[in-house]
Chain A
Amino acid sequence: MTLAREAPAAPPAPMPDEKPILVADEVGLVYGGNVTALAGVNLTVPQGRLTSLLGPSGCGKTTLLKIIAGLIEPTTGDVTVRGEPVRGPGPDRALVFQDFALLPWATVLDNVGYGLRVRGVPRQERDQVARHYIEEVGLAGFEARYPHELSGGMRQRAGLARALAVRSDILLMDEPFSAVDEQMRRKLQEDLLELLRVEQKTVIFVTHSIEEAVYLSDQVIILTQRPGRVSTIVRPDIDRSGNVDEIRRTPRYMELVDEIWAGLRQYVE
């Protein structure tokens, strides 16, 4: 049987040193009274780490992220951030949208500064912060451009800079690198890891790519097909200090990819 694995998955090592910053408790969501998107999701997100959500298409990953962002109210259960239940969008969470959601009539500078603008930050300070993060995501020189003048990867960076500019502790990213080619994807992944070393954020990251999940995250949460619930949790304890290509060739890395693939393929078949 294809499902049989040679080595049983190592149970996720406890992370006693880390406090959970975000907890989802029995989160369920029913769309329009009949489509059950999520059925009792339980998960814990450790502070300062990157957690990725992996699962078959339509299993409710975006829905879960929107619930965490406070854009959708769960039908059952709740999400708490540092013990406080989520009642809507908050300053502690910033969302990076899968479709960028950039204002087409605003420049990169104004798009990145949007979150600050609606918080009443005066123009000068807002622009200064926005410029800082535009530079940090590698978009320096494009401040005065409009979204349609940017490539997909650059738009994604603008969306990321906008989320960084509000300096929230938790970054929620919905398939942020799906709209770019493999080369750009790797570049953005590198940039994200580098950024996290500087910014000390907690990241929840939706992806379709097992490799991306293993390479980037400290914790991979695998969801079942719809109605989504947590199937497995894997903690890729990978040493990321070395060269990228070497890391991708280490036995541990490949083992983890295989392990997660084995867990996921039952939903594909």
Chain B
Amino acid sequence: MSEVTPRLNALLAPSPGRRFSLALPSIWLWRLASVAVAFLIWEVLGRSPISLALPPASEVAVAFGEMLAKGEMWAAYANSLPPLLTGLAIIIVGGVVIGVSVALARTAEWFLLPVLIIFQTAPVSAIIPLVTYAYGIGDASKIVAIMILGLPLVALNSYKGIQATPPSLIAMSESFLASRFDTIRYVILPSASGMIFAGLRLGVSGAFIGIVLAELLITPTGIGDLITYNRAIARYDKMFAAIVSIIALSAVVLALLQAVETRLFRANARALP
């Protein structure tokens, strides 16, 4: 216990200048520790006779390796990844473009905003089966499911971020003769970037929910099918391996997003009080 406190203090203490190079490795250590603890608890729960449907973490890890070796995992992802990546690209680019332009061009506001809000508040998993009627069973349905779950979040957050730009900063920019374009580039977008990226994180999570829901409810293929099938034949270790794989992939995408944000708006992160 006693070693932990100074470490924590080193993490929390604002040591100007070098604090980032110092804190970064320890942050990763803490994250690893957190994952390790979660797996440990899982292992213990899995070994206790609570439920057959919860195998211990070690068994799931073995199943994971097996599925990689036998190619089941690759086959599933070959199916799921193309629509997932396409959907992600659409919601990231499309969502930001829609949200930003709706906020900047006030004429579009009345038209698009109600649609976005309806989609954000609707019980989406109820809508998803209906997508089949329109788009059949295939990649198109999966992409639509991703868009329904992710696009409104990205667009609405981008919209709110732009709207939340302090008016005095915009007045400042205009008073120094900035063009509208420069004001957007140098003031509005950096100011909104925090909200935009918060929306992107939610949207990415939504996209992963979307693809899994679509593969569970509409099109029994890919990773969703891997989950359903293994549950049906009571191979819970494999089922959990499939679930863990999709969670891990989602974590990787979120980490990439974080890296992009830090790269683009590094100063923002530092300027937070």
Query: A interface vs B, CB < 8 Å?
Result: 66, 69-71, 89-91, 93-95, 97, 99, 101, 103-107, 114-115, 117-119, 146-148, 162, 166
Tell me the dominant secondary structure on chain A's binding face.
loop
Task: Report B-chain residues with C-beta under 8 Å of the C-beta of A90.
Answer: 177
- State which of A69, A106, A118 has its C-beta within 8 Å of the C-beta of B267: A106
- State which of B168, B178, B182, B270 has its C-beta within 8 Å of the C-beta of A97: B168
State the Cβ distance, B195 to closest chain A Cβ, in Å: 14
Q: Which residues of chain B from 166 to 204 have any CB-CB distance to chain A below 8 Å in the complex?
A: 166, 168-169, 171-179, 182-183, 186-187, 190-191
Contact-size category for B? 20 to 34
Task: Report B-chain residues with C-beta under 8 Å of the C-beta of A117.
Answer: 182, 186
Task: Report A-chain residues with C-beta under 8 Å of the C-beta of B273.
Answer: 148
Decide: B176 and A166 in contact? CB cutoff 8 A: yes
Decide: B177 and A114 in contact? CB cutoff 8 A: no
Decide: B176 and A89 in contact? CB cutoff 8 A: yes
Decide: B178 and A105 in contact? CB cutoff 8 A: no
- State which of B169, B175, B190, B268 has its C-beta within 8 Å of the C-beta of A69: B175
Decide: B175 and A105 in contact? CB cutoff 8 A: no
Q: How far is B268's CA from A78's CA once the two chains are assembled, in angstroms?
A: 41
**Can you list 26 A-B pairs with a CB-CB distance of less than 8 A?**
A66-B171, A69-B175, A71-B175, A89-B175, A93-B175, A94-B175, A94-B176, A97-B171, A97-B172, A101-B169, A101-B172, A103-B169, A103-B186, A104-B271, A105-B190, A105-B265, A107-B267, A114-B186, A118-B178, A118-B182, A118-B183, A119-B176, A146-B271, A147-B271, A148-B271, A148-B272
Q: How far is B265's CA from A94's CA once the two chains are assembled, in angstroms?
A: 28
Q: How far is B174's CA from A69's CA once the two chains are assembled, in angstroms?
A: 10
Q: How far is B168's CA from A203's CA once the two chains are assembled, in angstroms?
A: 21
Decide: A71 and B171 in contact? CB cutoff 8 A: yes
State the Cβ distance, A234 to closest chain B Cβ, in Å: 29
Against A, the Cβ 8 Å flags (1 = close, 0 = not) of B231-273 are 0000000000000000000000000000000000101101111
Tell me the dominant secondary structure on chain B's binding face.
helix
Decide: B179 and A99 in contact? CB cutoff 8 A: no
Query: B interface vs A, CB < 8 Å?
Result: 166, 168-169, 171-179, 182-183, 186-187, 190-191, 265, 267-268, 270-273
Tell me whether A118 and B271 are in contact in the complex, defined as CB-CB below 8 angstroms, given that A97-B172, A99-B168, A101-B168 are known contacts. Answer: no
Q: How far is B268's CA from A148's CA once the two chains are assembled, in angstroms?
A: 12
Decide: B177 and A146 in contact? CB cutoff 8 A: no
State the Cβ distance, B270 to closest chain A Cβ, in Å: 7
Task: Report B-chain residues with C-beta under 8 Å of the C-beta of A71.
Answer: 171, 174-175
State the Cβ distance, B20 to closest chain A Cβ, in Å: 14
Task: Report B-chain residues with C-beta under 8 Å of the C-beta of A118.
Answer: 173, 176-179, 182-183, 186
Q: How far is B187's CA from A95's CA once the two chains are assembled, in angstroms?
A: 17
Decide: A105 and B268 in contact? CB cutoff 8 A: yes
Task: Report A-chain residues with C-beta under 8 Å of the C-beta of B168.
Answer: 97, 99, 101
Q: How far is B271's CA from A106's CA once the two chains are assembled, in angstroms?
A: 8
Determine the residue in chain B with the shortest Cβ distance to A165. B176
Task: Report B-chain residues with C-beta under 8 Å of the C-beta of A114.
Answer: 172-173, 176, 186
The list of the 8 closest CB pairs from A to B, nearest first, reads: A118-B178, A115-B176, A101-B172, A148-B273, A105-B271, A105-B268, A105-B267, A118-B182
State the Cβ distance, A150 to closest chain B Cβ, in Å: 11
Determine the residue in chain A with the shortest Cβ distance to B268. A105
Determine the residue in chain B with the shortest Cβ distance to A118. B178
Decide: B177 and A101 in contact? CB cutoff 8 A: no
Determine the residue in chain A with the shortest Cβ distance to B266. A105
- State which of A89, A99, A104, A148 has its C-beta within 8 Å of the C-beta of B177: A89
Q: How far is B270's CA from A66's CA once the two chains are assembled, in angstroms?
A: 32
Decide: B177 and A119 in contact? CB cutoff 8 A: yes
Determine the residue in chain B with the shortest Cβ distance to A111. B172
New A-B pairs, 6, CB < 8 Å, besides A101-B168, A103-B169, A105-B271:
A90-B177, A94-B175, A103-B187, A118-B177, A119-B177, A166-B176
State the Cβ distance, B67 to closest chain A Cβ, in Å: 45
Q: How far is B173's CA from A119's CA once the two chains are assembled, in angstroms?
A: 11
Decide: B177 and A115 in contact? CB cutoff 8 A: yes
Determine the residue in chain A with the shortest Cβ distance to B168. A101
Task: Report B-chain residues with C-beta under 8 Å of the C-beta of A146.
Answer: 267, 270-271
Determine the residue in chain B with the shortest Cβ distance to A98. B168
Task: Report B-chain residues with C-beta under 8 Å of the C-beta of A91.
Answer: 177
